[in-house]
Amino acid sequence: MSPSRKTINELLTAYPFLSSFLEDNNINYKGNEDKTLREIINLLDKNEQEELAINIQQLEENLESFIEQMSEFLSDDDEEVTSITIFPGTDKSGAPEKYESLELKKGEIVCIVGPTGSGKSRLLGDIEWVAQNDTPTKRRVLVNNSVPDSKWRFSISDKLVAQLSQNMNFVMDLTVEEFVTLHAESRMIEDIEDTVKTIISNANNLAGERFSKDTPITSLSGGQSRALMIADTATLSKSPVILIDEIENAGIDRKRALDLLLAEDKIVLLATHDPTLALLGNRRIVIKNGGIDKIIETSEEEREILAELEVLDKRQMQLRNALRHGEKLQ
Amino acid sequence: MKLVTFSGPPSSGKTSVILKTIESLRHRDVSPAVVKFDCLYTDDDVLYRKAGVPVKKGLSGSLCPDHYFVSNIEAVVDWGLENSYDLLVSESAGLCNRCSPYIKDIKAICVIDNLSGINTPKKIGPMLKTADIVVITKGDIVSQAEREVFASRVQAVNPKAIILNVNGLTGQGCFELSTLLTEESQDVTTLKGKKLRFSMPSALCSYCLGETRIGENYQMGNVRKIDLEKGENSESK
C-alpha cells in the first residue's frame, strides 16, 4: 500500500523518522493520528491551506521520496569506503600533474600544503564531487578502486567529505547537550543518550579547559569549540573523509584529536603549515598553481624533527596551563 | 536560450553564487546574462556589469516583488532571445517567505544560508519547497554539525531537490552548480502559456491601493483577521 494511504499512526510505526518530517512540514496531526495525511490537510479550510501554502499532492510525493531516501540512508548494506584514489589531471596552466596516482586509505593522515589559493579547495571539491574528468582539473576519483555511485554527488546524508575549517563557529542558541542531541537525531542514531555522553566526554578529553553539558555552545572558547566539533564529527558524521583546515595550538590536544578521528577509521586530510602537525602524516601533498606538484613521504630525518618539536610543544602547553592557573612560570 | 530562476531571502548570497557560477560557465563557452529583480534598491547590477555580464534590473517599489516578477519575466526573456544569450539567469529576492516565483519546466534554484537558523526551512514556503536545486551558503563559518542539521531540515521539506553546499566567496561548489544549470533543461523560445508552480501570495486590499488610515472602516477587499482565541493563541489566556 502506498504510504500516502496509510494513517499517521501506521506511518509512524513503520517509519519512526517521519515525526521530524511532519514537524518540519508544519503538519499538526495531534488528535488525528487515525487519519491519512490528505484527510488531515482536508480538515483545514481553504484559507488555512493557503496560509500554510500546502499543496497536498506535492506533500504526498515528498512523503514518499523522504521515506525512500531515509530507508536507504538507514540500511546498512552500504559498502564501506576503504580507499579513495585520485588520478592526475592538469594544473591551472593546463600542464599535466606529475604523479601517477594517489591512494588515500582509511585510518591514514595525509597533509596538504601550499599557499592560499593554490588549489586546495579544488582538490577537495574534486573528491567531494567524485570527479570523472569532468571538473576544471580533469582529475578522476575512484572509491574503493571502482567508478563511484552518483549518490556521493547528490545525497545530502551520505557525503564523502566532512570539513572542519578554520573560521568555523557555533551559531545556534543551545547548550552543548541539546546541540549534540539535535545532531544525533538528525543522523537517526539509535542510542542517542549514550552517544551524546560519549561525545561530550571525548571533547573534554581534548579541550584544555573542561566544559559541562549545560554550557551554551556559543560561550565555548575557541579550543573548546574545536574539541567539541572534532569529537562530534568523529562519532556522528558518516563521511569517510575528514578535512581539517589548520588546528590552532591553543586549548586543544591536537594529537589526541587526530587519534580520535583515526580510531573511527576516517581518512584524515590535514591542511596545515604547522610542522608538528604536518609531520604527523605519512605523506604530504604539495599543491602549486592549481595542481598537485609532488607527494612527499615523511622521512626518518623529518620524524626526528618531530620528536624535537613535540618536546617544545609540551613545554609550551605546560607554560600555558601554568599561566591559566595563575602560577609563576619557571 | 535556457532560463533559470534564482530566488532566496535577502543577503543569503544569491549574487555571489551566481557570479561565481557564471565564471565557470564562461570557461565552458556559455554566454550568460542576468536580470535582477528587487524591491526598493539594488546595486548588484553594478557587480554584474563589473564582471562583464549583460544585466537588466527591475525594482518593484511598492508592489509585491513576486507579482512584479511574473508580470515582467516574459519581456525579459524576449530581451535575452533577441541578444542570443545562451543562458538567462533571473535573480529575485524573496521578501515574505511566502514567495512563489518559480515557473513550471523552468529550472528553479533557491539559495538559503546556514546562518539563518535551523527553523528557517520550516518557515519558507513554495520558494524553498518547490525548488529543483537548493543551494546552501555560508557553510564555511558554521560547524560541520550545524551544516548537517540544516541540510537535513531542508531535505525534510523538499526531499526531491538536489541540495548543494556552495561557498559564494571561494566559489567552492559553483563549478558543480554550473553543470546542473545547463543539463536536462530545455531551450525557451517564449514563456507564453507557461504556468507558475504555485499560486503567489494574494493581496489587493485597501492598503494595497494607498490607504494609510488605520481602522475597521477603512479596510476593504482581501482582509484577514487574526484570531486571538483560536488554536495556540487560546492557551495564552
What's the average model confidence in pLDDT over A71-99?
87
Residue of A nearest to B131 (CA): A58
Chain B contacts of A246, Cβ < 8 Å? Answer: none
Among A50-59, A141-150, B128-137, the range scoring the smallest mean pLDDT is A50-59
Is residue B202 very low, low, confident or very high in pLDDT (cuts 50, 70, 90)? confident
Where does the pLDDT of residue A214 fall: very low under 50, low under 70, confident under 90, or very high at 90 and above?
very high
Query: Which pLDDT belongs to residue B177?
Result: 93
CA distances from A179 to A173, A176, A182 (A): 9, 5, 5
User: What residue ranges do the domains of chain B occupy?
Assistant: 2-182, 203-237
Q: Hey, what CATH class is B2-182 in?
A: alpha beta
The better pLDDT of the pair B236, A77 is held by: A77
> Of A26, A172, A236, which is closest to B118 when you measure between CB atoms?
A172
Residue A71 near residue A125 (C-beta atoms within 8 A) = no
Share of chain A above pLDDT 70, in %: 98
- pLDDT tens for each residue of B94-147: 877 788 889 999 999 999 999 998 889 988 989 999 999 999 999 888 888 899
Q: Which three cell numbers stand for residue A46?
A: 481553504
CA distance B165 to B161: 13
Residue A53 to residue B155, Cβ atoms within 8 A: no
Q: Tell me what the mean pLDDT of segment A119-140 comes to.
A: 89
- A272 in contact with chain B, both atoms CB, cutoff 8 A: no
Does the beta-carbon distance from B114 to A121 stay under 8 Å? no
Name the burial class of residue B101, with classes exposed (0-12), middle (13-18) and buried (19+) by CB atoms within 10 angstroms of its CB.
buried
Are A187 and A180 in contact by the 8 Å Cβ rule? The answer is no
Cα dihedral: A139, A143, A146, A149 (round 10): -100
C-alpha cell of residue B226: 487574526
* pLDDT at residue A320, as a whole number: 85
> pLDDT tens across A157-205, in order?
788 899 887 777 888 889 999 999 999 998 888 899 999 999 999 999 9
Q: Please give the ipTM for the structure prediction.
A: 0.83
A157 to B173: CB separation less than 8 angstroms, yes or no: no
In chain A, what's the furthest Cα-to-Cα distance?
A: 77
Cβ-based contacts under 8 A for chains A and B: 117
Kindly indicate the confidence band of residue A76, based on its pLDDT and cuts at 50, 70 and 90.
low
A168 in B contact zone (CB under 8 Å): yes
Give the pLDDT score at A157.
77
Q: For cell 612527499, what's the residue? A: A296
pLDDT of residue B237: 43
Q: Which candidate from A134, A135, A170 shows the least CB-CB separation from B146?
A: A170
Answer yes or no: do A168 and B141 touch at CB < 8 A.
yes
Residue B82 distance to chain A (closest CA, Å): 31
Q: Mutate which of A132, A167, A186, A244 to disrupt the B interface (most B C-beta within 10 Å)?
A: A186
- Residue A156 scores a pLDDT above 50: yes
In this predicted structure, what is the pLDDT of residue B51? Answer: 93
Q: Where are the alpha helices (DSSP H) in B42-187?
A: 44-50, 65-82, 120-123, 126-129, 144-157, 174-182
pLDDT digits (tens, 9 = 90+) for B153-172: 999 999 999 999 998 888 88
Q: Would you state the pLDDT for residue B159? A: 92
> What domains are there in chain A, each with its CATH number?
3-74 (no CATH), 83-298 (3.40.50.300)
Mean pLDDT, residues B144-152 taken together: 90
Q: Do A60 and A37 touch, CB atoms closer than 8 A?
A: yes
SS3 state of residue B5: strand
